[in-house]
Amino acid sequence: MSNTYSVPVLFVPDLVVLPGMVVPIPLDDAAQATVDAARAGESGKLLVAPRLDDRYPTYGVIASIVQVGRIPGGGTAAVVKGEQRAHIGTGTSGPGAALWVEVTEVDAQPVTDEVKHLAAEYKQLVLAMLQRREAWQIIDAVNKLTDPSDLADTAGYSSWLTDEQKRRLLETPDVAERLTLLTEWTGEHIAETEVSDKIADDVRSGMEKQQKEFLLRQQLNAIRKELGEDEPDGADDYRGRVESADLPDNVREAALREVGKLERASDQSPETGWIRTWLDTVLDLPWSVRTDDSTDIKGARAILDADHHGLDDVKDRIVEYLAVRARRAERGLQVVGGRGSGAVMVLAGPPGVGKTSLGESVARALGRKFVRVALGGVRDEAEIRGHRRTYVGALPGRIVRAIGEAGSMNPVVLLDEIDKVGSDYRGDPAAALLEVLDPAQNHTFRDHYLDLDLDLSDVLFLATANVIENIPSALLDRMELVTIDGYTEDDKVAIARDFLLPRQADRAALTADEVTVADDALREIAANYTREPGVRQFERLLAKLLRKAATNLESGKAHAPVEIGESDLKEFIGRPRFTPESAERTAVPGVATGLAVTGMGGDVLFIEANSNAGEAGLKLTGQLGDVMKESAQIALSYVRAHADELGIDRAVLDKTIHVHVPAGAVPKDGPSAGVTMVTALVSMATGRKVRADVGMTGEVTLNGRVLPIGGVKQKLLAAQRNGLTTVFIPQRNEPDLDDVPAEVLDALEVRPMVDVAAIIEQALEPVEDAVHASAA
């Protein structure tokens, strides 16, 4: 039965006392009054209860006073021992100045199997915790506890429990409930402790590893110092390298700032790697290195002539550049680090004419370093301007890398295949090239990786392209255009004799005494084995021819010297691949021979016209572009409008007109086939065949006017290669004939025209011949 009586109460603000605990309590005036009242009472007991801010406590501990005395500092404290959990009732009166309350002791509860099981589980957790802390004396004391309630109340000493949790234990008289709470809280704490200990172990092992590495590095540095081998990549070394390097002032300041960051950063910081790589890149660039240009104008021209046949436009431009540089040097007008001291040229022409190899010859003629930058297929703007340093694996752009490879600030940089640059989601490299190739801006070119001004104004940029239409207009405007239109037959023979044959003979291990190739054989290869503006296929055939000759010499089938003439070509390289086909194609009315320019140079273009029964209309085939389709519509409109003047029966034009351009797998576009389409339609409608030796080019209007076109030189070269003798061009293109080689003009009769009707009259066979042909 519960025992109820009155005792003075001692409120403790920062301490929770559970039964079985012995604790010292500092005494103020109120606490001293409570201790005095307890000592004066019959039982000598007092109630220790937690002081709560939000409510009145409901439970406390009946405690006895073990001792009262002074503590260091001059104060007084009482040592009390908790004995029994009690429920706090109402206040009551009592002797002294203390506050008295009526309390009811909480009776002991029977020990059930559940309570024993909970006590055993909690005891196991407590012992595990104490073992981790190596508190062996406390372990012995806990092992001696048998009463579950006493075991639970020892949690009052637990440092991992909060005051709120201890107050909850005080206010939980049920032993099973107390043990359940303690098991949950202690398990959570052990789990947290294990994680914390693991983290602490990891940190400790990392710190030990760092300390070990630091100690080893210090020892290694000391050993290197004793051997006279100081570490080459330390921050001090970088500072010395930067200060001793011949750098521009702004570059030196930026480099020293980065060295300062390197000195302040730890070796384990990823930033140190970025800074070291950036400093190495900056220090490797030839900031103050420039080669001296050759002043021997005649010698430079001789080098260019020795390396390449023809290409006079490019050679003249390089010699002019050298001459101006020499005169400026003589008069002390050198431009150092300023604008306009370099040059930017684009060499445009079909493949195989020597654009790429010309760059190296130009560098030799100028006495400069040469570096080639391949731009074909580049689609990432960062390839030109570089990546930001913060990206993993960041590098400077190709322009900066080219300067580093050249080892000077005024090399010849060949930007190969600039028309093959593309753009996608990674940016537009052609736009990034605008600053590089602008002589007014490139003296302060800024690469994203370097983030420093780089002077490119003294660099000679040579770009190569096959199709200038593929170059953005803004970029093309910044470059000086030099067109290389291909070689004539005489040029190819001379190139083969002077350049290709010696090179291929050397590769086949043949000498001039062992194999000779006659000029007529070379001319036959140029005329009927290859039809290309350049000489790349020509050189392959020569290589095949010489390999065959070497094989015959080695096998004993032939003896030196082997002389190869025109009649021997079939044996060595097979039958001719090309034969004149204009006569065969134009043997029927409705077929006209036009001239076109492609990325592979000039070529002939046959246009066929036919009429079929059906509804009046126009059908176009041959993969024609929009401009070429409009040219066909204009041509048909002109023919219909002038049918009477051209002698055409209008009934023919009221049928379905079909215009086809063979080589249907090849896309075609452009306005220059207009006169050819008109001629083919008139030929079809009148039954008069087009002369087999005639080719033509020009844009036509609805009124029949012939408008100028481009690529005259390439088209006339193609006409000569294909055996044509008469070519009609727009009269406004007549000045372009100045660029055409004399041997081509001698082989062709070029007729400038104003009106398409005149072309029709001269290109079609006479009416009498057409009538005789139809009668036959």
Q: Is residue 169 part of a domain?
A: no
What is the per-residue pLDDT across 446-475, written as a single tens digit (0 to 9) for each? Answer: 888 888 888 888 888 999 998 888 888 888
Residue 140 in any domain: the answer is no
703 and 738 share one domain: yes
455 lies in the same domain as 371: yes
Among the residues of 248-375, which ranges form H helices?
A: 249-264, 270-284, 297-307, 312-330, 355-366
- Pick from 460, 483, 506: which residue ends a domain? 483
- On whether 270 is known to bind a ligand per the annotation, the reply is no
Distance from C-alpha of 699 to C-alpha of 756, rounded to nearest angstrom: 10
d(CA 535, CA 498): 13
Assess if residue 168 is contained within a domain. Answer: no
Average pLDDT of the residues in 160-179: 87
Residues ≥6 apart with Cβ < 8 Å to 385: 397, 432, 447, 448
Whether 497 and 437 map to the same domain: the answer is no
- 366 and 327 belong to one structural domain: yes
383 or 370, higher pLDDT: 370
What does the alpha-carbon distance between residue 408 and residue 506 come to, in Å, rounded to a whole number? 34
Phi (first) and psi of residue 286, to 5 degrees: -85, 70
Beta strand 370-374 with 412-416: parallel, antiparallel or unpaired? parallel
Q: Is residue 214 part of a domain?
A: no
d(CA 143, CA 126): 10
The reply to whether 355 sits in an annotated binding site is yes
687 is in an annotated binding site: no
pLDDT: which is higher, 377 or 735: 735
Lowest mean pLDDT among 57-71, 481-495, 741-755: 481-495
Banded model confidence at residue 775, pLDDT cuts 50, 70, 90 = very low
Q: Does the annotation list 350 as a binding residue?
A: yes
420 DSSP 8-state letter:
G
Binding site annotation covers 629? no
- Total number of residues shown for the chain: 776
- CA–CA distance, 536 with 728 (Å, rounded to integer): 30
Look at residue 175 and tell me if it is in a domain: no
The answer on 688 and 568 residing in a single domain is: no
Chain mean position to CA 166: 63
- For CA atoms 547, 551, 554, 558, the dihedral sign is negative
Query: Could you give the CA distance from residue 526 to residue 491 in angstroms, rounded to a whole number?
Result: 10
* pLDDT at residue 772 is higher than 50: no
Distance CA 365, CA 317 (A): 12
* Tens digits of residue pLDDT in 137-148: 777 777 788 888
Backbone angles phi, psi at 534, to 5 degrees: -100, -155
Q: Note whether 322 and 463 are same-domain residues.
A: yes
Q: Which residue has the tokens 């012992």?
A: 127
Q: What is the mean pLDDT of residues 322-342?
A: 67
d(CA 232, CA 237): 6
| pLDDT confidence tier of residue 607, bands split at 50, 70 and 90 | very high
> Side chain identity at 478, as an amino acid letter?
R
Residues 390 and 475 in one domain: yes
Whether residue 30 is found in the same domain as residue 64:
yes
Q: Is 597 helix (H, G, I), strand (E, B) or coil?
A: strand
Q: Is 69 annotated as a binding residue?
A: no
Do 501 and 531 lie in one domain? The reply is: yes
Instruction: Please tell me the total count of domains within the chain.
Output: 5
Residue 176 lies in a domain: no
Phi, psi of 709 (to 5 degrees): -135, 180
| Mean pLDDT computed over 629-641 | 93
Any idea which residues carry the catalytic annotation? Answer: 672, 715
The CATH number given to whatever domain includes residue 15 is 2.30.130.40
| Spatial contact of 331 and 461, defined as CB atoms under 8 Å apart | no
User: Is residue 139 assigned to a domain?
Assistant: no
- As a whole number of angstroms, the distance between CA 166 and CA 170 comes to 6
Residues 293-321: pLDDT tens digits? 887 888 888 888 888 887 888 888 888 88
Q: Is 411 known to sit in a ligand binding site?
A: no
Q: For all residues of the chain together, what is the average pLDDT?
A: 85
Band the pLDDT of 576: cuts 50, 70, 90: confident
Instruction: Assess whether 301 and 423 both reside in one domain.
Output: yes
User: Other C-beta atoms within 10 Å of 93: how many?
Assistant: 7
Task: Judge whether 718 and 748 are in contact, CB under 8 Å.
Answer: no
**Are residues 748 and 646 part of one domain?**
yes
CATH number at residue 447: 3.40.50.300
Q: Give the position of tokens 């001039």.
A: 512
Per the DSSP assignment, residues forming a β-bridge with 47 are 9, 62
The lowest-confidence range among 336-340, 341-345, 571-575 is 336-340
Q: Are 604 and 593 in contact (CB under 8 A)?
A: yes
Q: Is the pLDDT of residue 164 over 70?
A: yes
CA dist., res. 506 & res. 486, Å (int):
26
Domain limit, last residue, from 483, 500, 527 = 483
| Residue 356, marked binder | yes
Cα dihedral across residues 22, 28, 34, 35: positive or negative: positive
In-domain check, residue 364: yes
Residue 88 tokens, joined: 């706090």
User: What CATH code is carried by the domain that includes residue 524?
Assistant: 1.10.8.60
Cα 776 to Cα 772: distance, rounded to the nearest angstrom: 6
Domain of residue 516, residue span = 489-573
Query: Does residue 471 share a domain with residue 325?
Result: yes
* Contact criterion met (CB below 8 Å) for 111 and 148: yes
Statement: residue 21 has pLDDT above 60: yes
